[in-house]
Amino acid sequence: MLTHRKMLMEDYQLSPDLLVDCSKDISLFCHDGVETGGRTLHCLMKHAHSHNQQETISDPCKRRLQETIKQSDAGEDWRADPVLFEACHSMVESNCRVYRGGNARVMRCLMQHLDSPEMPTACEAALLEIQYFVARDWRMDPVLYAACSENAERLCGARRSWFNLNPSDPEGGGKRRFESEGGKKSKAEQVLPCLFRYVYHPSPKLRLNSTCAEEVQRVMQERSAHVDLHPEIERVCMGDLGKFCSSHTGPGEEIACLQDNMEMLERECKDVVGNYTEAEAKNSGLNAQLTMQCSSIIPQVCGTLPQHDTDGALMDCLIQHKNSELVRNNHKCRAVIEHFQLLALKDYTFSPKFKESCQVDVAKFCSRPKPKNKADVIECLSRQVRDAVLSDDRHKISKACRYQLRQQLIQRHENIKLDPRLQQHCSNDVNRLCKDVSRGRGAVLECLRQNKQNLTSECHKVLFLREEEEHQDPSTDVVLVSTCQQMIQQFCKEVPFEQYLSCLKRWKNEPTFDPTCRQVVVRRMVEQTTDVRLNPDLYRACRRDMAKFCSDMVQRMEWTSTELNGRLIECLKEQLPSKRLSTTCRVQVLTMARTSALDYNMDPILLSNCKDDMNVLCHDYLNNDGRGKMEECLKLHFDNDRIQSTECKLHIAHVIDTQRADIHVDPILNEACGVDDNKYCEGKEKGHHLACLLDVLERNPNGLKDDCSKKLRDRKEMFSAASKISHLKSIEDIVSHVSASPERNYILLVFATAIGIIFIGGLFCGRATKRYKLLKDR
């Protein structure tokens, strides 16, 4: 039988039907058939899968050629094809010698070594020419046929018989129809794609049995490098391949080219490429470039993953380790990973776990308007999460989806190429301000943050949204997490992701805290002072207080897309002396007031209004040491009326007013009077310690330490100077200022005396007026 099969492959004239149907093609392409030893058949095979229509054999010839190869069963035993045997003999001897001929064992071995450097060019060409036809009839792969015949008949309407009984139906399949294909006639070349769809079917009852599923995945992985081996793609994408991918002919390059140009493909081609890409996302073995470029790395970074990847776990693992030294040093592997990340932005279904976790949420919250791509889906879901955090409401987005969304945001913040919106609006700014910054690891986003004042308005708006995302969930802040990874493990190991920054802020002054991490934390704290939306803890604590006392700023915040430069936070600080803020809000605002007193960089209004005065009067403290020297310097010059800028003078007056609320808000005074505070005012309620010390100063000035006594006298003068330029907008403001003033008893006494004088004067004037009226009437 093997001899007979070899004869069919050696001499095409032994197949009369092929001789008739292919005579013109043989004359046109194959030197009138003078080539011997099977070379004429291989000549026809070569021209069967040419993408150039002028160099392709006719359809009748192609069908007869398919039938001849099936009759010879060349796909079952490599020895049946003399050309293949001659071209691949050395390869079989060196790599497939352990396999016996038959049952496609050697053919499978050769396919596994298709991209090996040892593979001879002639062997690769002959092998692909045979596999082109094997790919068009699933029955020509004996192992696949044996494993999947029952599944193919049950799910895909395939015939149980191996050979066609009806010669007029060369493609096989009979009159049965695909239930899954909407009534299309079943063809042999459609069976494998049909089986492949059932590998991942959501219903366990319709899923393939394990043996068949394993074989289908094996076959699809072997064919992943060449689009010719995917009839359903080649058939509908022939025009697009010629249009976009004529120069991309290497292993895996044609499919990658179609994926890159997906938006411009014809509708039918776009659908089939999209379906394949979704399957490729689930099974990374279908990604030929990934298999070739990352094969040496995968076992080292993802070796614990199951052998058969069906949920995208391998690609997720590689993305997670993309910035590890091992992957960074392999530029080709890293490029393949990032290419897939860019491809996944075209459709969220290309991210299997993200799709599985979020498809219900997407349908519920992101259907109007319908998202065009994955970037739109991420933007929509992120907005829903952000709104829930800011309003302190229960999350509408499911927990599983929020977790997957976090992974997507990490990827987006890591590389600007994975953030289409930011790249669209900030590309010019990046080229202008960050051209020397390496891409990846969040470096470009960090550069934009540090050059915020020089950004264009549109770029600034998008950047503000990205800052919101990271402050609401610091685990998506790539720079913070990567720089502070050790500190997170040391100080915040048991803290939820959302509290990473809050935790690091509490521990940043510890002696063992990493200085580089501290710098990043301080930068994030500076950002939080510019807008309450960047400080979720403050926002949640003061939401009602903001609406009550700062309604005009809240309205402004609702329509502006960038920072308010600390104006809303300043409004909250102004309420501290009056003690009108709620308890939770007051704690947050006091903390911010103390922080800004220690580090002037955390007072954006001071930076804006006092820039010139700081350079002239307090130049020595520009390199802030975090101990409040700059603010103290400005306050002293304010007391001596040396500040030139009216805006700066007014702001320092507000700062001084704010610090009357609590001695702890004034770190310099708190440090000077700490011992006396504990001595005289230990049992006092919070917020009353400063008044207590001032009372001690009046009654027993010698009982205080010299430094504390001096600082308190300075503060009294500052309070007096600040009160002269404070804007009292209403009777309520006057009452609030008087009640919060350390000299409130004196002020009330003067006020009462003035009222008494007016009252007594009124009595005398009233009697005199009455007496004058009586005399006039007489």
Query: In whole angstroms, how far apart are CA 512 and each of 359, 486, 520, 599?
Result: 45, 11, 16, 21
Helix, strand, coil percentages in the chain from 3-state DSSP, rounded to 5: 70, 0, 30
> What pLDDT score was predicted for residue 14?
86
Q: Report the alpha-carbon distance of residue 513 to residue 101 in Å, rounded.
A: 67
> What pLDDT score was predicted for residue 279?
87
Q: What is the DSSP letter of 345?
A: T
pLDDT tens digits for range 121-165 = 999 999 998 988 888 888 888 899 889 999 998 888 887 665 544
pLDDT tens digits for range 332-365 = 999 999 999 999 999 998 999 999 999 999 999 9
Q: Would you say 675 and 703 are in contact if contact means Cβ atoms under 8 Å apart?
A: no
Question: Which amino acid, residue 90?
Answer: S
Q: Report the alpha-carbon distance of residue 516 to residue 692 in Å, rounded.
A: 41
Q: Report the alpha-carbon distance of residue 36 to residue 39 in Å, rounded.
A: 6
> What pLDDT score was predicted for residue 571?
94
Joined together, the tokens standing for residue 38 give 């099977």
> What pLDDT score was predicted for residue 171?
43
> What pLDDT score was predicted for residue 773?
52
> What pLDDT score was predicted for residue 450?
94
pTM to 2 decimal places: 0.76
Burial of residue 770 (number of CB atoms within 10 Å: 0-12, 13-18, 19+): exposed
| 82-95 helix and 2-10 helix, angle to the nearest 10 degrees | 120
Question: Which amino acid, residue 49?
Answer: H
Q: Which residues pair with 694 in a beta bridge?
A: none
Question: Which amino acid, residue 513?
Answer: F
Burial 274-307 (b: 16+ CB within 10 A, else e): bbbbbbbbbbbbbbbbbbbbbeebbeebbeeeee
> What pLDDT score was predicted for residue 192?
86
Ranges of the chain with pLDDT below 70: 160-187, 305-310, 624-626, 726-752, 754, 756, 758-759, 761-778
Q: Helix, strand, or coil here: 338?
A: helix
Q: Would you say 592 and 539 are in contact if contact means Cβ atoms under 8 Å apart?
A: no
Query: In whole angstroms, how far apart are CA 2 and each of 7, 140, 170, 222?
Result: 9, 16, 23, 26
> What pLDDT score was predicted for residue 749?
63
DSSP 536-598: HHHHHHHHHHHHHH-HHHHHHHHH-SS--TTHHHHHHHHTTTTT-S-HHHHHHHHHHHHHHHH
> What pLDDT score was predicted for residue 176?
34
Q: Report the alpha-carbon distance of residue 246 to residue 52 in Å, rounded.
A: 9
Gyration radius of the chain over CA positions: 39
pLDDT tens digits for range 221-234 = 888 877 777 888 88
> What pLDDT score was predicted for residue 750?
58
**Contacts of range 415-419, beta carbons closer than 8 Å, 24 or more positions apart:** 415/338, 415/341, 415/439, 415/440, 415/444, 416/444, 416/445, 417/338, 417/342, 418/341, 418/342, 418/345, 419/375, 419/466
- H or E element that contains 279: helix 267-282
Burial of residue 699 (number of CB atoms within 10 Å: 0-12, 13-18, 19+): exposed
Q: Helix, strand, or coil here: 185?
A: strand
